[in-house]
Structure 1
Amino acid sequence: MQAYVTRRRDELLSTLLDRMNTTFADEESALEQYQTNPVAFAENVLEESLTGDVKRLMESVRDYPITIARSANATGKTHGAARVAVWFYKSFPGSQVYTAAAPPQANLEKLLWGELGGLIEQHPKLFQNDTTKNLHIERSAQSFITGVSIPLSGTAAQRQAKFSGKHAPHLLFIVDEGDAVPDEIFTAIESCLSGGHGRLLVMFNPRAEQGEVYRMERDGRANIVELTAFNHPNVRTGETVIMGAVDRQTAVRRIQQWSRPLSERERPDSNCFKVPSFLEGATAVDQAGRFLPPLQGGWRKITEPAFSYMVLGRYPAQSARQLISREWIDRARSRWDAYVGQHGEVAPVGTRAKMGLDVGEFGTDANAACFRYGGFVERLVTWSGVDPLMTADRAVEEFLSRDVSRCSVDATGVGAGVAPQMARMGCLAHSVKVASSPNEASELGDFGLLRDQLWWSVREWLRTDSGAMLPPDEQLIEELLCPTYDTEGGKVRIMKKGVMRDLLKRSPDRADALCLTFHEPALLFSFLE
């Protein structure tokens, strides 16, 4: 009898487990219908109502290998990313989802994984067959959502190795605060996306046009989705449709405080926006509790760069204390194209070039030579190698092949011997120590170092000279857009080169070469001193 009872119990248990496994398999299979419809997955399975911008984000991840989500503050990018992660994980068998955020680790734990933890609590049945632990949701060793930390220490190669070699039938990477993530992380991720069904979603607030994420946009390697405050239902309706998100009061206050109406004679430019019709007449209270006047319609000029990335989800035309604006560069680029269209890439007749030579300090740096004929700048010439004699030989070759009045050479480090060697070979060249005191005769202002003065000269040239012309060189443009400036003791200070190197992930060789063309030596033959 006991044997019969034991056998019968085992049979019943086996039948129950078979039914449960069948149920789980059926549920997993049923979710596969949402592979081509992530919005329906969020609405039907997660029972949520999405904003239009989040819907576009989810559909972009479905349709494009790389999606970049430029987001204003509190418009739902992290909320949407968590839904993308769960949709991909549940809809594609054998999928792997890797999530990361710029250091510190709390960025990942509190934001994206806070949203994922909320989904697990709200939908226990959806995750009942999964194993969950800190920064990890798993249905098998081959299928999971996991968090990967980006170390602050170690070499670039070590950081890259953490994201290399990921392979699965369906692979998704989600990177938050992507503008602060090292370039090598994206290099590793893109190598993983080279075959099969792979996707990358990068999210960030677009503060400055620099770094690998910006270059993905610039080079057309990603689809762009903007999540703006003006599209959010809380702002559009004036009601709290989504708790914790941006609200109308905040949007209106920022419009009033961070922009101004255009005057009658002003025309809209890249630093302007038009007030949405649904906000006309809206009021708000400032931080001191005072009522602001009703918002007027029409075009407004952005006066605080934060408005662009915190409200519009766009790069600012000129960030706070940015040395050189995108608008000035765009004008100089247009003039160059117009000039070349009429004359070809030929220097203006009767104008001699000033040559600037930035000498590479390290093996990864380039030697960059810039030739400026008044306002016309040739395409820059670059070459590798840090041997000063070889650098001088190449520089002399470039000098003698043009009508050049003089060459200003960066004399920092290994560059100290280049100008004297060029002089011995018949070129009028002089050494420039950019860390020395500025020229006393400058009319541009007071500067801490000569380097500050040279960068400011380029700024004023682009800002005020209607003949300034820049060649189509994206690296040069990115370098010119990089630095900010400040004042210390009444003297202008430009962002240090080491900081620029960290931001650009390279040395600003091309921009430095252009700056050197603006150096006016106190003595023409200073190299002989």
Structure 2
Amino acid sequence: MNDTPEASATEVPAASPFSRGLQAGLQQTTPKPEKAAVENPFLRYQNDPIGFATEVLGLTVWAKMEDILLAVRDHRKVVVRSGHKVSKSTTAAVIALWRAYARPGSRTIITAPTLRQVKMIIWGELRKLHRRARLPGVVPIDPGTGMKLDDSDTEVYGFTTDEPEKMAGVSGADLMYIIDEASGVDESIYEAIEGNMAGGGSQLLISNPTQTSGTFYEAFTTKRHLWKTLHISSEDTPNVISGEIVIPGLATRAWVQEKLLEWGEDSPLFQVRVRGDFPDQAENSVMGLALIEAARARYNAADSLLSGVFTLGVDVARYGDDTTVLQPIFGQRPGPPKTYRKQDNVEVAGHVMDYVEQLRQSHGYPVASGKVSVKVDDLGNGGGVTDHLKHSERAKALGIEVCPVLVSNTATAAGYSKLRDQLWFALRDWFKEGGQLHPDSHLEGELVAPLYTFDTQGRAKVESKDDMKKRLDRSPDRADALALAVYEPPAFKAQNTRLIGPPGAAQESKWR
């Protein structure tokens, strides 16, 4: 009889070394259960940018914005010409966020001719939409740092450059360039971008149509077959159509009517900035719109500080509704103008001295540092202003150097009929050489308005002020004042130019 008790049914026999080794091996080779992948809630919008804009970002998508979103979804190369205030920047920001969250692995590059346009406008709008929608992830302040989502190679970043090699080398299976103010982008940048498109990619070009050459223009003309083209006029917005504020921030009927009165329907400014059409500008225009737009861009991109030596151009109102304009310039950068109506010569002279004193104090140019050239249109009422300044002790104390300019005189340079013609073309050259233009829609309208012809001797002749006034419904006083400020005549003799200044002033000078 066996006295050894039977093993209990619940008792586990001691494992042998062999079985323990077998169990350990099985544990090492059996794959561990994976954590459930976190579902991307935005994948449902992969082919629905409109739904993403409305349901995720909470935006009201109007008809033309919808057209852009669908075009970007369905086409590799999309180009949009438009007027102002049609939600271009908002749409660009929506597309960048849609791609980042609904299309994992995508890369989106935002660029424009100026850093301000990238950082302050589009990237600023992108950050605002991201914050309001409480989307996951962080959008840094600097677009160059870029936005990168966790556990993904998805990227959105923005920068601007005038060096093509910095744009080269970007690749990706789902790569997209969003190019704002595309009409002003240098052609070498487009060439670099095109090289990056070889591995697959897409482009969205958005701009006011300021240039009549280059990639943006060709996309609507000779190479139209390669692009999905869209056109948006400011007059298309629901605010303009209804006459009410349906979507805040879009162009309003009042704004369109204001620009129609200010510029005129045939003005290139109205064509470009309101209707989004390429400028139908006469070949005999003194200044093209592209030149003015470039000067505005330089002003926006440059340091806003004004300091040191300056000059003042003074166009004196002749009668009625004309405006007296005092326009300072600091090198290549204009300062804020002063305008007056229905002022007599003594009052205008007083305003000149007040403004010189104010500018000296506020911009670090004391009397001891040098004189201030005040260039006055000496025709008609202007002659009275120069006389008052000539005999003013205060003008002497302020170091004012009066420079009367008789625009009706013969030009001092070959190729022009009168000095006034020379001044207008000198202003054009000043812009070509880097002159800047401060925001002033009245001034811009005056600058692009004048036409010119040639006289019997082949000299350029700008249309008269009266003829310009008929077309503009106002006198081009602001443009004339800027032309006076910019003008640099030959050296002149003190006794012939009413030179005023502190004792010991030079007897010969240049207007600057």
Tell me the TM-score normalised to structure 1 length.
Answer: 0.47
